Structure 1
Amino acid sequence: MTTPMSGEVSQRSKGPPLVGIDGFRGRLISADHADYDSARAVWNGAIDRRPHLIARCIGTADVVAAVRFARNHDLGIAIRGGGHNVAGTAVCDDGIVIDLSAMRGVRVDPADRRAWVQGGALWGDVDHETQAHGLATTGGIVSHTGVAGLTLGGGVGWLMRKHGLTVDNLLAINLVTADGGLLRVSEDEHPDLFWALRGGGGNFGVVTSFEFRLHPVGPIVLAGPILWDATDAAEVLRLYRDFIADAPDELGTVVRFGTAPPLTVIPENLHWRPVMMVGACYAGPIEEGERVLRPLRASRAPLLDLVGPAPYVGFQSALDSTVVHGWNYYWKSTHLPELRDDLIDVITEHAFSCSSPRSYAAMFHLKGAVRRIAEGATAFGNRQASHAITLDAVWRSGEDFGDRDTAWTRQFFAALRPFRQGVYVNFLGGDEDPGRVREAYGDAVYDRLVDVKTTYDPENVFHHNQNIRPRAGTRIIGPTRAPH
């Protein structure tokens, strides 16, 4: 087999005859390349798409060259950062994948508390570098999540109640536009575009680097999960509701309903047992956190309490092995209000009805600094919601749980309809009703996003995403088949 060299790509039966990309110095991977199948694979193993070409960039100039090449050949564009999106929008059929996975550099200025992060970096890369200086910014709760996708959708994580969403800590972006141009985008430079990029997803260009504000965090924090038996979930969830009503911003919590994963820190006799788990991370002095968490830890005699001083970096990666690359995922999600008794009844009635031991529901406590920023100040929508819940069917290749747990997810989601308050755009799947993208923002924010989209990408070049379409009358570049 002939392996294409930089600037060369062999021809395929579909798509235009291609001989290379002028000015491209990275790797070009087409269907006859030995690495094609691994290069087109993304985190969600249920996604199986075959791009015409994968352009693995090593710098901004490569991204510019790839965008211009795609435009010249009328190819649809997918953008891959971490490839972690459940909808699989990082890869497309027949078009070109602009792959930033080789661009993972992170530079930290500890004196100014800033970090510069390339567009293909993962959150584990960021935490590794920033925690060397006792600094962090809000990132995901899984270390192999991509920085770009999580940030552009908003950025939910353990630190958000204290330090805001990831987009609330975003200072500037370097962006390749739909015409292959380069822009630096900030509050002072293209402020309309900067507003849109803070929550509007990958609709506006290819981000080659981010500049973030950092905060003193750790390197040791008070963190860990507390586990209760599933039969106690309704009572414990009511106690949790009362507990978080007065919780300080320093406390981030995520409630997980499912089986206890077979982690080494969990005793074997609890592995795969249905449990309600509350993960906690206190972004403040450990002694203070011990006092704050004491009432929750004393609630209803937990099966296991693993809260204790822990490296922040380690806690950020503690769940990595429960959401493995290549497993199959199907999600539904919504924002929720305060946990009224009738809402708790619906959650606990459905949460443990899945078939796969790997399926789960996860509920993130919002409020705090997330809510204190005005609605519409950034493109992230629904800041007044109290919780975000995601219902996640998970099964491995060869297992027969897929149809049953996809049905479980849809039934659970339907039961939550009376309580729905919008949705976090990063939790949207690949088969959503088109109206759900508008639901992620609300009418006023969505309409403003359309205005920005029409200005910066009037032909909808960047449409392999949770798409915000430009105003009517524009031409869409490349294939438009809905993702599957």
Structure 2
Amino acid sequence: MTTTQARHDALGEATLGELAQALRGVLIRPEDPSYDEARSIWNGAHDKLPAAVVQCHGVADVLRGVEFARSEGLSLAIRGGGHSIPGFSTSDGGLVLDLSAMNGVRVDPDRRRIVAQAGCLWRDVDVEAQAFGLAVTGGLVSTTGIAGFTLGGGIGWLVRRCGLTCDNLVGADIVTADGQYLHTSEDEHPDLLWALRGGGGNFGVVTSFEFRAHEVGPTVFSGLVFYRGEDAAQVLQGFGEAAANAPDELSLAVNLTTAPPLPFLPEEIHGKPIVAVLGVWSGRTEDGDAATKPFRGLAPVVADVFGPMPYVAMQSLLDPLYPRGMWNYFRSAFFSDLGATTVDALISSYSEAPNAVSELHIHHLGGAMGRVPADATAFGTRDREYILNVVARTPDSAGFDGVVEWARSASAALGPDAASYVNFTGEASDERVRASYPPATYARLAAVKGRYDPTNLFRLNQNIPPSVSPDRQP
């Protein structure tokens, strides 16, 4: 008998039947034909067997699911887009609350507000908001869910102009561990809103997010320019020099990668090391060519495909490179500059990349993100100009342990003070979570956790255990 079968038997058919009858959505059990599809997530590295999956159709289903998990002593996994790199959106023997059917978006163009349910993907939000020429900093892959992305911070193509996604979170509806349904804002439960702005999924099930929107698009000047892999050091050094003078409207990244078989790349370079500089100018489109020029001549150019593009097209440009089912492990490290020591470390790691689908992303930060006061949100690191995201992947299990070790080594090569980004810690790790926050911020998060989730029901996340407090009531 499998672990899941044992858990399912212990629950009892009558108990699960009562839950199914109480739902507006669907309860899926291991014996159901749709179980394998319902339990699968984007990251193929995690193949878990939950006792049941609740496909929620509304807040009432979330309330019932939370109550059921608490009363039955089940681990509780919350799934928005399902892109969790450590696999937190599923669980062996536990209950999964799948929010993907809760994907409504409402845009208020007069107030410049976007209200989006927690099951939305970024493509859902982008399409609706762009109908009014609005946007909020979103994911670089449009199939990413908004929930985990926002709660951990949110770094995207508007980060220098508009700040992190969590910086633009002005309100949220949330179901807490004791079954309360709360609205949080600057005026209602402000401590909880502070924690949701970068503290991860530790505090409850957020069912909807309210964002401050910005005028963007519908056309932006964006794209990619490619350089040969042997010029990587020259490109990185020149990128750092040019980035020092970049306006806030310009967000860019460098990808140290392998040339894909794209029609605009010479055939002889396919499958060989290549450097891509990609990004978005979100100011006046006619100013985009001049604004991006310093980054499009850093070395002899292989191909330059920058130009005017719909914002929604740029937001989905990388989607084909991140299909469902591959084995993924992402690691991160913030750092201050692209000086010689850092460039040498990055080039060394790049030269040791284990396969053609594993790569290093160096994203330029600062701008609006860096001007937010350190204590205004729970997001941990704002004083570094760059973040390294190590994207380690394999098509299946073969060689996965090797790419994980490479990713850990590449992030560690930037030094012991290179703080981590909580959304890209790779796996569940108390050490990496603590490294994502200054000590005072971590202590404050633990205190908020103690008030809203004193028993740590919401622990399938980059977990911050609750601190002991005499007053744990919200």
Listed as ranges, the matches of 1:354-373 within 5 Å are 354-373=353-372
In the alignment, does 2:25 pair up with 1:29? Answer: no
Q: What residue in structure 2 maps to residue 481 of structure 1? A: none
TM-score of the pair, normalised by structure 1: 0.92
Could you say which residue in structure 2 is the equivalent of 1:416? 414
Asked whether 1:470 is paired with 2:466, we answer yes
CA contact (8 A) 2:7 2:93 kept: no
Aligned to 1:393: 392
Q: 1:285 to 1:153 in 2, by over 3 A?
A: same
1:297 and 2:296 aligned: yes
* 1:35-54 correspondence to structure 2 within 5 Å: 35-54=34-53
TM-score, scaled to structure 2? 0.94
Deviations along 1:334-376, one digit per CA (max 9) or x if unpaired, are 1111111111011011113222211111111111111100112
Matched-pair contact (CA < 8 Å) for 2:265–2:302: no
Does residue 439 of structure 1 match 2:439? no
Any conservation in 1 of the 2:447–2:468 contact (CA below 8 Å)?
no
In structure 2, what is the Cα distance between the partners aligned to 1:460 and 1:150?
21
Q: Which amino acid aligns with 2:148?
A: G
2:264, 2:303 within 8 Å by CA — same for their partners in 1?
Answer: no
Task: State how far apart, in whole Å, the 2-side matches of 1:11 and 1:20 are.
Answer: 17
Which residue pairs with 1:458 in the alignment? 454
Displacement of 1:387: 1.0
CA distance in 1, matches of 2:78, 2:262: 33
Q: Distance in 2 between matches of 1:263 and 1:97?
A: 39
| Residues 422 and 442, structure 1, Cα contact 8 Å, conserved in 2 | no
Amino acid at match of 2:213: L
Instruction: Give the letter for the 1:449 counterpart.
Output: L
Match of 1:141 in 2: 140
Q: Is the 8 A contact 1:57 1:98 kept in 2?
A: yes
Per-residue displacement from partner, 1:385-408 (whole Å, max 9, x unpaired)? 11111112111126x332332232
Matches within 5 A, 1:219-298: 219-263=218-262, 266=265, 268-298=267-297
Please give the alpha-carbon distance, in whole angstroms, between the structure 1 residues aligned to 2:266 and 2:185. Answer: 49
2:112 aligned with 1:113? yes
Instruction: State the Cα deviation string for residues 248-286 of structure 1 (Å, max 9, x = none).
Output: 000001111111233455555443221111111001012
C-alpha distance in structure 2 between counterparts of 1:265 and 1:62, whole Å: 49
One-letter identity of the residue aligned with 2:462: Q
Unaligned runs of 5+ in 2: none
Aligned to 2:332: 333
Superposition deviation, residue 413 in structure 1: 2.6
| Structure 1 residue ranges without an equivalent (≥5) | 1-8, 475-484
Identity within the alignment, %? 46
Instruction: For 1:164-243, list aligned pairs within 5 A.
Output: 164-243=163-242
Q: How does 1:45-124 map to 2 (within 5 A)?
A: 45-124=44-123
Within 1, Cα distance between the matches of 2:158 and 2:264?
A: 23
Q: 1:271 to 1:103 in 2, by over 3 A?
A: farther
Secondary structure in 1 matching 2:96: strand
Q: Secondary structure at the match of 1:218?
A: coil
Larger deviation, residues 305-314 vs 268-277: 268-277
Q: CA deviation at 1:19?
A: 2.1
Offset, 1:221? 0.4
Q: Measure how far apart 1:323 and its partner are.
A: 1.3
CA distance in 1 between partners of 2:190 and 2:428 (Å): 32
Distance 1:352 1:128, change over 3 A: farther
The answer on whether the counterparts of 1:382 and 1:421 sit within 8 Å (CA) in structure 2 is no
